[in-house]
Amino acid sequence: MGLAAKAAPELGVWAGVAAILSCLSNFIPVLATSSRALQATAKIGMVPGKFVSTWLQYEDSKRGVPIPATACILFLVCILMMFNFDTLVTTQILFALVGLCLQFSAFIRLKYTSPDSPRPYAVPGGVWGAWALSLPFFCLAALIAFSNVTGGLQNWVSFAVVLVITIVAFFVGDFWWVKGGQYDPELVKSVLQGKETDANLPETSVESLTLLGRE
C-alpha cells in the first residue's frame, strides 16, 4: 500500500480498500466455521457447565446462526488483536503443530488398537508403514518448534501458553469428557454428520434450548 501511494495517491487509497476487503473476505468464513465448531463442541457435551454448554448451542431459528458461539469467537479475536503479529504467528504455528502431532499420534495408536477397521485408504506396511510416515513429521515438528521458541522471551511465552492450554484441553477431554461419562459416540457421530435432533441431544439441553426460544 505504501508503494502504491508513492506511485499515485489515488492508487494507495484503492490498495487500502482492497486490503480491507481481502481481510474481511478471509475473516468472515473463518468466523463462520469457527463458531460452528464451537457450537458442535457444546452439542457433544465437551464444554463444561450445563448453562454455558446450552447457551453455546443456541441457534437463531430464522437465520440459522449460532449467535452466542459467534460472539465468543469475536471476543477472542478482539483479545488477540492486542498482541503483536510475531507473537500471534508463533502461537498459531505451535497450536498447529500440537494438533498435527495429536493426529499422527492417533493414527499410530489406531494402527495398534484397530488395525482391521474399514478405512477409505490404508497406509501400506501396517504399523511400520505408519511409523515410517509419521517419524519425518515428528522430526520436522520438533525442528520448527525449537526454531520458534528460541527467538526470544515472547516466543517462550507463546510456547508456555500453548503448553498450558494443551494440558487443560487434554484434562477436560480425557478425564472429564471421556472418563467422566460425558462422551456419547452416537451423539458425536450425529453432530459431525449434521443429523442431530432434539431426540438425540441431552435432555437438559433440549429443555434449556426451548426456554431460550429455539424452535
Identity of the highest mean pLDDT range in 116-125, 145-154, 183-192: 116-125
Residues 103 and 37 in one domain: no
Residues 156 and 104 in one domain: yes
Residue 154 has pLDDT above 60, yes or no: yes
Helix (H/G/I), strand (E/B), else coil: 44: coil
CB 113 within 8 A of CB 177: no
Helix (H/G/I), strand (E/B), else coil: 41: helix
Residues 48 and 14 in one domain: yes
Residues 78 and 90 in one domain: no
- List pLDDT tens digits, range 59-82: 888 888 888 888 988 888 888 888
Residues 107 and 74 in one domain: no
Nearest to 138 by CA among 171, 110, 107, 111: 107
Cell digits for 150? Answer: 528460541
Residues 24 and 91 in one domain: no
Nearest to 176 by CA among 44, 60, 65: 44
Residues 7 and 40 in one domain: yes
pLDDT band, very low/low/confident/very high, at 10 (cuts 50, 70, 90): low
Residues 139 and 76 in one domain: no
Range of the domain at 13: 1-82+192-215
Residues 168 and 93 in one domain: yes
The values of phi and psi at residue 89, to 5°, are -65, -45
Residues 129 and 89 in one domain: yes
pLDDT band, very low/low/confident/very high, at 195 (cuts 50, 70, 90): low
Residues 39 and 112 in one domain: no
Nearest to 126 by CA among 108, 141, 144: 108
pLDDT band, very low/low/confident/very high, at 113 (cuts 50, 70, 90): confident
Split into its structural domains, the chain has a count of 2
Residue 202 has pLDDT above 60, yes or no: no
Mean pLDDT of the chain: 75
Residue 105 has pLDDT above 70, yes or no: yes
Residues 177 and 88 in one domain: yes
Residue 121 has pLDDT above 70, yes or no: yes
pLDDT of residue 135: 92
